[in-house]
Structure 1
């Protein structure tokens, strides 16, 4: 009998999703309580099954290929739907688990190391993440991290970090295009992040802030800031980055500030406690707010 769904191993898909979200086999292994070798084996099996490479393996770590990014976004949507159904069916005894929603870039670059540090202090509180770049899953979360305005009725928010917005890329990209000041960016490939339900500051706003008109070059549009940064890392173009979010990762990723001009972020990244937030969720909220104010970024 033919299977109704054309799916590879669900174990392999789960390992791939964790590795893609963390951009690390090691962190995916820690999350799934297996060895990095097991993660690598499952992903190799998946790549063989699909006859395509999903990751580029480099000495600094791994990054998604175009096929990998396509599969990752599809899995995010599917896992969000499954998670919705499972949460609806769970017993009331699970109600005090804390659920926090963030975009993939905020989760990978800031939130996941924070939660790991929190668990070491409060192992009695179970924390689950909803990683969504659409914002559609926030309705079932106790807490959400958002960039931009918070709508009335969504709950009470506290600022986490703000920082400046800078133009980011590789040193090779800067040399290739002779980048010295902001006006040079108008004619080079730019990577734009546009995602439903988010309010990312874009190139038009950034260039306007530094006294320039709209970009004249053709650009690439993606709906995931993590993938946009990876494209910049590959030398595809320049992307905007928030110093409060990616500052500690730029050297690790081989990225530089391309031009000296900056734009103060018009919004802060905010931690929102929804009306349904439990007492334990508020414990995590206060802990995250305190560590953000202290500027603490635990090792991932």
Structure 2
């Protein structure tokens, strides 16, 4: 009987995907819980099946050939789709519940403080939060992002667009005698980089005010909340969204260092993933009505 799909061994494909993602047979063996020899054997079998090499073996590791890169991209897309479907099936045990993914910062600063009000209005809807800072979001009904919603294939809801301020501790402002934008050019600045969100950075902030980029030392972090804590401790200045950090400003944990501000180039928005439940849409509409 003819097979419906012209595929090599699925085990060989899974082994290849791991080796290609890690560019290492050794790491793939640890991930697959098999020996490096077993990984090498499976990949050789796959290469024989396809009739061409998938890796270029080198002294310090391996590199993908053109055929290997083509196969890897296809497998990655397929596995991501399968992973997403599996996660959705697992989460369908209770379709009254709503799952929403957000970064640590967005969850702590904006989403969680609003949940009590939602539950008061809709006590029968359970909310499950997934904290995801890597940028890879699967298996949820909703997710919160900072960026351009027009790039999304899924349905979206705008949450808020904010002004971006230069913030720091009172001690930091006094120590560096900061009163105007030029005073920020050479002081230590905290830079946030994250896979989840393309945060607006200092160079964009200075450019929006018609100023050259900063030349002072940078303190780079991949977690926004830790960046805020570093700013509180006087390590450097940090960029902050006015509405998002209302509590910090009100309590003077951080202060606005200069009067100038940048209008945020992007909004925070909600992505409604395919297959979202009626309760998920109810929650999405409610969140979109909240003030930033």
User: TM-score, with normalisation over the residues of structure 2?
Assistant: 0.67
In structure 2, the residue matched to 1:102 is 102
Shift of 1:230: 0.8
Q: Deviations over 1:126-185 (max 9, x none)?
A: 11011112221x221211111101364541112111120000001110110010111111
CA distance in 1, matches of 2:128, 2:280: 11
Distance (Å, rounded) in 1 between the aligned partners of 2:250 and 2:152: 40
The DSSP-based 3-state class of the residue aligned with 2:245 is helix
Preserved contact between residue 87 and residue 138 of structure 2 (Cα < 8 Å): no
Distance 1:253 1:88, change over 3 A: farther
Query: Would the aligned equivalents of 1:154 and 1:275 in 2 still touch at CA under 8 Å?
Result: no
Counterpart Cα distance in 2 of 1:221 and 1:127: 33
Q: Does 1:265 align with 2:245?
A: no
In the alignment, structure 2 segments of 5+ residues that lack a partner are: 1-83
Cα separation, partners in 2 of 1:277 and 1:88, compared to 1, 3 Å: closer
Q: Give the Cα–Cα distance (whole angstroms) in 2 for the partners of residues 256 and 152 of structure 1.
A: 34
**What is the SS of the residue equivalent to 2:93?**
helix
Q: Is the 8 A contact 1:233 1:253 kept in 2?
A: no
Spell out the pairing of 1:125-204 with structure 2 (5 A cutoff): 125-136=125-136, 138-150=137-149, 152-204=151-203
Secondary structure at the aligned position of 1:270 is classed as strand
Q: Secondary structure at the match of 1:109?
A: helix
Is 1:276 equivalent to 2:275 in the alignment?
A: yes
Q: Is the 8 A contact 1:154 1:274 kept in 2?
A: no
Q: How does 1:109-120 map to 2 (within 5 A)?
A: 109-120=109-120
Deviations 1:200-219 (A, max 9, x none): 10001001111121211111
1:216/1:90 CA distance change after superposition, 3 Å: same
Residue 229 and residue 128 in structure 1: after superposition, are their counterparts in 2 closer, same or farther (change >3 A)? Answer: same
Structure 1 residue 240: Cα displacement: 0.1
Shift, 1:287, TM fit: 1.0
**Contact 1:190-1:220 within 8 A present in 2 as well:** yes
CA distance in 2, matches of 1:148, 1:92: 29
Count of matched residue pairs: 209
Whole-angstrom distance in 1 between the partners of 2:152 and 2:274: 8
Q: Distance in 1 between matches of 2:210 and 2:150?
A: 30
Which shows bigger deviation, 283-292 or 225-234?
A: 283-292
Which deviations, in whole Å up to 9, do the C-alpha atoms of 1:82-112 show, x marking residues without a partner?
Answer: xx9x956747432442111111111111100
Higher share of residues assigned helix = 1
- In structure 2, the partner of 1:213 is 212
Say if 1:182 and 1:152 are closer, same or farther in 2 by CA, change over 3 A.
Answer: closer
Corresponding position: 1:290 with 2:274: no
Q: What is the CA deviation profile of residues 236-288 of structure 1, one whole-angstrom value per residue up to 9, with x for unaligned ones?
A: 10000001211233232521000111100001111111112111100101111
Q: Which 5+ residue runs of structure 1 have no aligned equivalent?
A: 1-83, 296-300
Task: State how far apart, in whole Å, the 2-side matches of 1:250 and 1:218 are.
Answer: 25
Q: CA separation in 1, counterparts of 2:179 and 2:229? A: 22
SS of corresponding position for 1:191: strand
Aligned 8 A contact 2:192 2:224 in 1: yes
